[in-house]
Structure 1
């Protein structure tokens, strides 16, 4: 297995395509079985020209890609760069012996409904679950059934890793696009299923830290939490989530109290039976509204009684520490028989990057300190990755998919 990643910052799309293709083909030194291309939204007026230009210079059986407000790639073969808000083109090529590569393009109209059988989803994708496919998904943010797609794939392919992101545009609000096998699509979804001699390891860095104690939801309606109870040894009875929040804010230091004014999130516990909770046990959701009259809060997801929640804070230091911990846990010494040749994909939120850290290339540099392998990706309008037993759409997150050969 061989992976290469290339990056061009040429202002001309023709020059950028030529540069990345020539560099990638020279570095791969083998036939390409899969290509992924990420194009800066600075090239928005040229989206329709990208696939024809690539077809003139590159032959690859499966090629998917999308637009991004920023793209990630290897500028010189050794250094990963995150190019935000400027013209850039990133191309990843992979030689995958023993791997079945199945690209697909999905409209909203052809998705089975959530009451359909798993076989309907399998027929749509064209890969049997017994082949244990691993998925890379690139979706236009105007695709109307994003959550239905993720739930359906989890239903048909339980336990199969799925990573990716929503195509994005820059600060000027240019259009978005996704690409699959020579075609440009707007408002639709593309992806690739990889089966056989490949493993896709995942890292989902949500960049938050818990504060206070967990609570159990005792009453809720859709995405509104109406009543909670404290989950500690002393108990304490029911209270409104706003009362719980006000109590928590009174216990915080001044720095965290100021941070809570603009970077407060709600973590929903995914494993109902786990007692000792850790960072990866939460699905982080935005706190999107407060009703002072009812004491209720609204979050960016549906809730139900019995779920546990905990308030979280996010800042640059927390995001860095969270990613560092996850990378350390993933970066264990290779077991006998492990094959180290591999590559990685990075799907990072537009809210991270230089705007969060105050310096360029932070997440990619941190990743490559632990995994000095080719890295490609883009800045997303929403990131796709697993938490617990499900796949979710995230925000303010960096998701990594690390591709390698199985161990002997």
Structure 2
């Protein structure tokens, strides 16, 4: 049986929640975990939304966050006052909501069923928190699987997370036990340009030389003569790719080009790097994003032992209509492949998969 889920759009937060509850049902008797994603237009009412959901559904345990865009099965709400929610059928003993104010299970803890209590984490995080990549890596080491998925909140106002209460700063989420069957993959939104390079001189995130040559000279060659004449457009169009060490799938992290110094031929990217680190350059594109999404969905479908009960999809704010050309085209592809599986999620300021913080990706996690 699939999970109950719903989505609604209304500037009146109470009316939106009431429409959600009609879809979610009121007969949950306090069991299960609720996921809820709230558009930033409704963010000031997050406490009220959480209270009303609890009272109406009977479900007491909730996690989620705020997003500029909200995701549900087959549909994307961008810049709309939307809420999406899903309620699982998991026993409360098989998951643990955690935050800086609520202790998480640790490695070696077990649930009453004998399952690893700290097996897999779904997390939401504040994009303004310092050292977030290190915090994500640390969190992954606290799970038996070594896996966390999630995303950084996105909002034009104050960011927040929900972990049984409305929170700001840091990270929070839910730890799932090994009794819960999980299948997850991520898809890239960029296509690498030819050539693999090595950073040879760098200070923090400012690259001085690549392959022993001035960084900007290499960048100009990679982007080609047309873009090289308009460095502002080149910096928007072409991104830096940082290959993941020991990846057997060619995985890489995408980071923006955040600054160019033509006088000193320096290139700044959105991450601190080291001399000797490999470097790619990539371009964003709808065709490559579509192909990689189809590949990911095929891999995930092949891995599923049976129909999925539900899922969470977290995608970069730069995806969706911006990348696929039409509103809801990305979620339409997922629906076309998986059918009407209940899915909720949001468009994030950064996506989390395994132990890393990505950009321009989509992370799909399914429960069977």
State the TM-score bracket (shorter-chain normalisation): 0.7 to 0.9
Aligned pair count?
Answer: 359
CA contact (8 A) 2:21 2:56 kept: yes
Preserved contact between residue 216 and residue 307 of structure 1 (Cα < 8 Å): yes
The 10-residue stretch of structure 1 (83-92 or 53-62) with the greater mean CA deviation from structure 2: 53-62
Residues of 2 paired with 1:196 and 1:125: CA distance? Answer: 15
The reply to whether residue 204 of structure 1 matches residue 186 of structure 2 is: yes
Q: C-alpha offsets along residues 198-229 of structure 1, whole Å, 9 cap, x if unaligned? A: 23322222311111210122332222223333
Q: Does 1:90 align with 2:84?
A: yes
How far did 1:97 drift?
5.1
- Asked whether the 8 Å contact 2:201–2:209 carries over to 1, the reply is yes
Supply the distance in 2 between the matched residues of 1:333 and 1:382 (Cα, whole angstroms): 26
Structure 2: 5+ residue stretches without partners: 110-115
Aligned to 1:311: 281
2:244 aligned residue = 270
Q: State the TM-score, normalizing by the size of structure 1.
A: 0.79
* Structure 1 segments (4+ residues) deviating >4 Å: 28-31, 251-254
TM-score for the superposition, normalised by structure 2: 0.87
Residue 240 of structure 1, aligned match among 189, 207, 214: 214
CA displacement, residues 70-129 of structure 1 (integer Å, 9 cap, x when unaligned): 21124xxxxx2111111211111111259711101127xx9xxxxxxxxxxxxx522325
Choose which of 141, 157, 168 in structure 1 pairs with 2:143: 157
Partner SS state of residue 65, structure 1 = strand
Equivalent-residue separation in structure 1 for 2:361 and 2:303 (angstroms):
26
Aligned to 1:224: 206
> CA 1:145 to 1:239, structure 2 compared with 1: closer, same or farther past 3 Å?
closer
* In 2: Cα distance, 1:196 partner to 1:9 partner: 35
Quote the Cα distance in structure 2 between the aligned partners of 1:305 and 1:84.
40
Larger displacement relative to structure 2 (209-218 or 320-329):
320-329
Q: 2:314 aligns with which of 335, 344, 347?
A: 347
1:179 aligned partner: 162
1:319-369: CA deviation from partner (whole Å, max 9, x where unpaired) = 2222222222332275xxx23233111112222222333311122111122
CA distance in 2, matches of 1:148, 1:333: 30
State the 1:272 CA deviation: 5.2
Unmatched 5+ residue regions in structure 1?
75-79, 111-123, 230-237
Cα–Cα, structure 1 residues 128 and 219, in superposed 2: closer, same or farther, change >3 Å? same
1:100 is the counterpart of 2:112 = no
Distance 1:91 1:273, change over 3 A: closer
Question: 1:46: how far off?
Answer: 1.8
